[in-house]
Structure 1
Amino acid sequence: MSAYLTTRRTMLRGLGVAMALPWLESLQVWGQEAGTTAVKGEAPVRFAALFSGNGFHRDHWWAKGAGKSMELGPVLEPLNEFRERLLFIQGLYNEEALKGNIHSSQTGNILSGAPLESGGGIRSGISIDQMLAKHYGQTTKVPSLVLGCEKSNPSVHKNYSMLYSSHISWSSPTTPTPLEVYPALAFDRLFRQNASKSDQSVLDAVLGDAKDLRRGISRSDKQKLDEYLNSVREVEQRIERAGQRGELQGWRPALDKPNIPRPADGIPQDIADHMRLMCDILVLAFQTDSTRLCTLKLNNDHSSLRFPNLGVDYMIHHLLSHQESDDWLKVNQFFLKQVAYVARKLDAIQEGSRTALDNSIIMYCSSMLTGSHDATKLPVVILGRGGGKLKTGRVLDYLDKPNRKMCSLYLSLMDKYGLNLDQFGDSTERLAEI
């Protein structure tokens, strides 16, 4: 292997641009970095938390059986192809979420288990993704990526700030992690060294470096590199097309501001395109090792989203969640399709003997089990095998177990990343069987 290959960083560089590379067998330079437990030559293990508010259809969120024979309820049908790489977890809860009010108190600590300050104040606790970012995210360009598809709500509801309903990621007890709702800005954060106005394609800026790299890698890696560069180009072009249509989601650095006013109610103009772009950016971030940690909030708790793409435009998400209707099921399945899309894209990325999905832990959860505000049994699904550290294809029920804390799950998951804590949130005990 040439000195160029063994000493270069795993980055493609150009004017104002630094783009991390995907895993390539010819380089094998990932791993054995400070704060990680990766084996040299193996791809890193990623963590993503995907969230949607207001729970699911009462009768259709369930799973039973194991492996290929696992049966999934109608809400989870979009995940059928991933049954062998899925953990369905039921019965967990956050004790602090049962205090205070509904919605805000059930969301602001979903990833931390921390008590929340009332009276319109802001105090929660550091979330699992940001704990991992401090320990595990410092070796990547972006320690963690925090994405959303609905604007934060700064109002107060029943004596609690609605910022709790809008943020699942917290960098400190008083600081919700800034939430990026613009796909173009999220994309720039991954690939541009400085956020500034520019019409140059990120990909065009690094083509010279990519050409040099091709000379020293294997034929299969050349194909993988081409596929990766094509995926970058595809996302760029889709953001470009969105901007040409004059849509909010198409805001790009070449503009001082969106070319149309943001809708007053904060709802994206095309929620299906918006969510899909954010899912693509999550995958691209993991594929390029720009970050290994991401949260994607598909909507807020107490959400105002509507779904004209589904023919469900007569009622906002929050109100719809109080009905156990066919339309509510349709909206539930729409969210699960986003999770399945992320899993499918990651599973198509080969990284040595495993796929990017195998090298990830993708957790999907909500603030309550059903729209009736039941937070005593939180819905949790995990996809991916955590680099071989997680046994999947199982249904785990903790409802009648002595330890059923969400924070016990988080302690177990953080262990997979080499972060071994004595306590997190309200738990000092790992979750059995994880």
Structure 2
Amino acid sequence: MVPRAAWAAGAPPTPNRMAFIFFPNGAIMKDWKPEQAGTDYKLPKTLAPLEKHQKDFMVISGLAHDKARANGDGAGDHARCSAAFLTGVQPRKTDGADIRLGRSVDQVAADVIGKNTRLPSLEIGIEAGRQAGRCDSGYSCAYTSNISWRSETVPTAKEIHPKAVFERMFGGGVEDAKARARRNFYRQSILDVVTDDAAKLRTKLGGSDRRKLDEYFQSVREIEQRIERAAVESQAQIPDFEVPDGVPRDWAEHTRLMYDLMVLAFETDTTRICTFMLANSGSNRSYKEIGVGEGHHQLSHHRDDAEKIEKLQRIDQYMITQFSYFLDRMKSIEEGTGNLLDHSMITYGCAISDGNRHRHEDLPVLLAGRGNGTLTPGRHLKYENEVPMNNLYVSLLNRMDVPEKSFGDSTGPAKGLDA
């Protein structure tokens, strides 16, 4: 809504966005990883659908997730893959209620910048999941169904229904907006009374109690700011976006619709942080629409069978084709002197590389966008020695103005992202 001349003058500042897209069961790495490093590299077969976007993303090789390895816990690599993907923490091996992991990178960022948007973060997916029960070799389904974790024991459940995602973003229409306005009116009235009483009380308190009262009113002020934002948001028109009532049967249609919603969330500044699971970890979905009738997980244990490897590569490329569509959409949204992708950092990857042998090093990872000018895409960034994936996350957090020096098993910020 700001005139283009104002952008050219350097105002207002453009927000940075951060998203994480997870795919299961690893990749056929010979068709994923480029042979050359640097800018002069040829896209391998699986990444071919991204050719028109080659200057807009980095292929990053040499990253690892040590906490997705067994480390004495035995089988269960798929559960550890999704559990460690955004946390860098070894999950407690249990299929009971005593799950324990760690906070995910998206929620660390949401705690700091989430107060600036209607939703602190958005979690979406394609496959329904479970928060209890056994799913992988003694690991709880909570580990295989989620990549976002609000705390050590509370996963942030994803939403797979497009309409539910849209309504979470923008509400259920006029009546919902009226109900929100009524709630906010009474909340503000209560805050006014409390603030007046507290001001009188403060003159009678000692230093320690005044500090406690100040801490309390800091949280009160945050509520007031949310109400103020809600008043502005209520005047904004709900986007004209057609959303089906159910879940599309076609995987590609469902996936593209969820990508569209992610673009809409970033474009409207409804949130600046999103996670997207293209499937649950260890998913055994078949992809008959591209001629693959066997289950994905079943095929991933290919034992070097050429026919199975070819089908797995087809699945990898099918998913990349949808990711290319997402980048198309992001680049189509003009913002300031660039586009939405220029002001975003999109991580696409998995915490398993070779699904047949359950390898957790040299992971398949793409990083799209320019992060408001802090990233230099258009190249293959190749780390020669094993580098923790969480080093990348420290760097992304810092680019979101979240001043974390470490995360998970990181050893420092990732080098070379800005060339």
Over the aligned positions, Cα root-mean-square deviation in angstroms equals 2.5
Match of 1:186 among 165, 183, 186: 165
**Matches of 2:285 and 2:25, distance apart in 1:** 12
Q: Report whether the alignment pairs 1:131 with 2:108.
A: yes
For 1:409, the aligned partner's letter is L
Displacement of 1:229: 8.4
Contact 2:256 2:322 in 1 (8 A): yes
Size of the alignment, in residue pairs? Answer: 343
Quote the Cα distance in structure 1 between the aligned partners of 2:374 and 2:410.
22
Structure 2 CA distance for partners of 1:389 and 1:176, relative to 1, 3 Å = same
SS where residue 138 of structure 1 aligns?
helix
| 1:367 alignment partner in structure 2 | 351
State the Cα deviation string for residues 101-159 of structure 1 (Å, max 9, x = none): 21111220111101211122311111111111111121100111100000114432212
Contact 2:33 2:364 in 1 (8 A): no
Contact 1:56 1:75 in 2 (8 A): no
Q: Which residue pairs with 2:13 in the alignment?
A: 42
1:152 to 124, 129, 132: 129
- Report the 3-state secondary structure (helix = DSSP H, G, I; strand = E; otherwise coil) of the residue aligned with 1:165: helix
8 Å Cα contact 1:282/1:294 also seen in 2: yes
Distance, in Å, in 2 between the alignment partners of 1:287 and 1:133 is: 17
Q: Aligned partner of 1:102: which letter? A: D
User: What is the DSSP-based 3-state SS (H/G/I as helix, E as strand, rest coil) of the residue aligned with 2:115?
Assistant: coil
Where structure 2 has 5 or more consecutive residues not aligned to the other structure, the ranges are: 178-235, 303-307
> In the alignment, residue 86 of structure 1 is paired with which amino acid?
F
TM-score (norm 1): 0.74
Counterpart secondary structure, 2:385: coil
Partner of 1:358: 342
Letter paired with 1:174: T
Q: Are residue 114 (structure 1) and residue 86 (structure 2) matched?
A: no
Query: CA separation in 2, counterparts of 1:186 and 1:158?
Result: 32
Query: Which deviates more, 275-284 or 50-59?
Result: 50-59
Q: Which has the higher helix share?
A: 2
Q: Deviations over 1:168-196 (max 9, x none)?
A: 11111111102101000001111117898
Match of 2:78 among 96, 99, 103: 103
Alignment of 1:273-422 (within 5 A): 273-312=253-292, 314-323=293-302, 324-372=308-356, 373-400=358-385, 404-422=387-405
| Runs of 4+, deviation exceeding 3 Å | 26-29, 64-69, 193-198
Q: Which runs of 5+ in 1 are unaligned?
A: 1-22, 30-38, 199-227, 250-267
Report the alpha carbon displacement of residue 67 of structure 1 after superposing the two structures with TM. Answer: 7.3
Q: 1:368 and 1:46 mapped to 2: Cα distance?
A: 25
Contact 1:54 1:302 in 2 (8 A): yes
Post-superposition offset of 1:26: 6.2
CA deviations over 1:50-99 (Å, ceiling 9, x no partner): 11000112421112446774311111111111111211111111221112
What secondary structure is seen at the aligned counterpart in 1 of 2:123? Answer: strand
Deviation at 1:287, TM superposition (A): 0.9
One-letter code of the match for 1:329?
Answer: Q
**Greater relative contact order (Cα < 8 A, sep 6+):** 2
In the alignment, what sits opposite 1:172? 151
